[in-house]
Amino acid sequence: MSVVIEKVQQHYDDVADIYDSRYDRNKGRFYHAHISERVLEGMPHGGRILDLGCGTGLFLKAYEDLGGYGVGLDLSREMIRRARMRCGESEFFIGNAEVLPFADESFDAVASLMAFSYVRRPDLLLAEAYRVLKPGGRIAICTLGRNLLTTGLPAIYTMAELMRLKKIGMGDFGEYYYGRSEMQDLLARSGFSSIRISKCSFAHLNLADPLFQLARKVEPFIEERVPRLAYNILAKGVKAGSPGSPHEK
């Protein structure tokens, strides 16, 4: 395991006890729910999904509420412990998404929310995701996008680490900010087709009220008409072949 990955693992072990206070309350709940809804669009309902970088299981719980179940994978033992307490139907494992411990063609869909930017070898993760997907299976990745609003974040995170702030994601982890063409090329080289790249999350939870509430109101317009202002990038694709039995939304 690389030094960076060990650092990410330790960080999320350390902040696991406050993770839900950020993403399952107040502004964070709206923010995470919006990302989850965008990732779930077009996903099979009632199928078996793999969540890479599952955290405390917030996304898989939302998927369970739609009648599905899945498997969560995360580097952090403490995140996995909390995810197991949250989700009644899904399974959880500690592991690295670049080497998946699952059989070929064993999932209807693969999802990843805000973890892809930490991956050292995205090509390996996508190759593994393609391998474990059934023919016709779908992938959806929401990750950090590159724009004017995110260019200064690495410096802020580095400063937060020096100040030893115990806050989610606040640290120098060498995370990468992706552009549209980069995500398009990554998915295409991994064999995915029907690729769609979009932007999401203009209403970022770090915005203070009342700016956050205003951003929520205009978020659909921003995502459709001025996507360069959104924080995150959403990449979707399909594995070649006929889809399985679960129907699509």
CATH of the domain at 105: 3.40.50.150
Residue 189, pLDDT score: 97
- Residue 243 covered by a domain: no
- Residue 153 covered by a domain: no
**For 33, how many CA atoms within 13 A lie in the half-sphere containing its CB?**
9
- Residue 61 covered by a domain: yes
Average pLDDT of the residues of the chain? 87
Residue 46, pLDDT score: 85
- Residue 11 covered by a domain: no
Task: Tell me how many domains the chain contains.
Answer: 1
Q: Which long-range contacts (CB under 8 A, 24 or more apart) does 17-25 make?
A: 17/78, 18/166, 18/168, 19/55, 19/56, 19/79, 19/82, 19/168, 20/56, 20/58, 20/82, 22/168, 22/205, 23/55, 23/56, 23/58, 23/168, 23/205, 24/56, 24/58
User: Which sign does the torsion angle of CA 214, 217, 219, 224 carry?
Assistant: negative
- Residue 2 covered by a domain: no
CA 8 to centroid of chain Cα atoms: 15
Residue 156, pLDDT score: 47
- Residue 43 covered by a domain: yes
- Residue 112 covered by a domain: yes
pLDDT in tens, 215-246: 999 999 999 999 988 889 999 999 988 664 44
Residue 32, pLDDT score: 95
Residue 184, pLDDT score: 98
Residue 245, pLDDT score: 40
- Residue 41 covered by a domain: yes
Residue 65, pLDDT score: 93
Range of the domain at 142: 19-146+174-238
**Residue 136 has which token pair?**
């016709």
Which stretches of the chain score pLDDT less than 70?
A: 1, 3-4, 147-173, 242-249
Residue 10, pLDDT score: 84
Contact 75, 94 (CB under 8 A): yes
